[in-house]
Amino acid sequence: MLIGILKEHKEFEKRVALSPTVAASLIKEGFEITIESGAGDSSYFVNDDYSNAGVKISTDKNAIYQSADIILKVNAPSTEEIQLMKKDAVLISFAWAQTNPDLVEAAAKQGISLCSMDAIPRISRAQKMDALSSQSNLAGYKTVIMGANALGKIFPMLMTAAGTIRPAKVVIMGAGVVGLQAIATANRLGAIVEVSDIRPETKEQIESLGGKFIELDEASDAKTEGGYVKDVSDEFLKKQQALIAKHVSAADLVITTALIFGKKAPLLVTEDMVKNMQNGSVLVDIAVEQGGNCEISEYGKTVVKHGVTIIGEPNLPSLLPLNASELYAKNISAFLLHLTNENAIQWDMNDEITAGALITHQGNIVHPSLKKDLQLN
């Protein structure tokens, strides 16, 4: 089977779906691979790296779409690009199908089998395919480094002949994969770390990494599934806001990471809360791509408001494109090899991983969570 790799064209995107090393391993498994010329440049993989691995280089993007049996991407192609793909081809990428109905419908109409990397179930058998976790780990690290760079003081306590510098205080909202890596990174840099999460079961993980859990007396009404928050009431979010307001006002760096799967990010930091933050403090809003946890963060911009530097950088893994591409390539390769047997795709609908990731197949929307919501025109 022929695998096609295309350049990523989404704003702020520097990753590529396959690294040369992983491409070489797939070729040993019997696949042929063609990559669009320059697709790996932003990840520091040049054409010669791929050629040396046995990958064919093409300057014709349309030809790759039209000939490939399998398309591997980081971000899903446009609906126009999907129309170039041949019937029964397989597309594997992040799809965010719940919030991207046009993509889902286009794939179904074209007869494409669309597999979404963000829909792979979070079970032990699928850990090596978990691209959300691999990319979120990098994002958690990078957000602390960005915040530290923008902050006009150091993180650790420092005792000098001229006096003692107190350690910086970091408040992190959300203890998912991003938040946990941010806790570990900030703690290693010497900061005092406080963490808020609507899931009380995260307390042990937070404390094991050196963070202090900001605990709400009232039990959370958050609904979770597979490790992701699926829903939480507005009333509970308001109570959480009130609790963390005093912690935010005393923080040097605030990092917000809270996301609700398939929905707009919850509002955690209001403009009034920003006004009460210390002059010169920093806020990094990781959720800016889904509407933002901070009321006044701006997508793709770093702004100073009320004396606070607010960083609204989307797609943080792409700021570490070499590592991010290497890890994503291993994730997507593991998933592809899981689907294949003797160089052919095996659609085992009784397999939890296959059924969880498969969005469209043979002209139909097959994912259980979408069949009720989306219908073909």
* Alpha-carbon span 261 to 259, nearest angstrom: 6
Task: Give the list of residues 6+ apart from residue 181 with CB closer than 8 angstroms, or none.
Answer: 136, 137, 138, 139, 140, 141
Count of C-beta atoms within a 10 Å radius of residue 142: 24
Please state whether 315 falls in left (phi above 0), alpha (psi between -120 and 50) or beta.
left
Q: Of 5, 91, 83, 81, nearest to 361 (Cα)? A: 91
Query: Residues 182, 141: contact at Cβ < 8 Å?
Result: yes
Structure tokens at 369: 């969570």
Structure tokens at 113: 């089998």
Task: List residues with catalytic annotation.
Answer: 122, 127, 130, 133, 228
3-class DSSP state for residue 114?
Answer: strand
* Alpha-carbon span 286 to 296, nearest angstrom: 13
The secondary element (H helix, E strand) that includes residue 149 is: helix 131-150
3-class DSSP state for residue 236?
Answer: helix
3-class DSSP state for residue 164?
Answer: strand
Count of C-beta atoms within a 10 Å radius of residue 104: 24
* Alpha-carbon span 145 to 338, nearest angstrom: 36
Query: Residues 304, 275: contact at Cβ < 8 Å?
Result: no
DSSP class of residue 297 equals -
According to DSSP, the residues that pair with 212 across neighbouring strands are 194
Which phi and psi angles does 173 have, rounded to 5°? -110, 115
Q: What angle do CA 360, 365, 371 make, to 5 degrees?
A: 140
304 exposure class (CB count in 10 Å sphere: 0-12, 13-18, 19+)? exposed
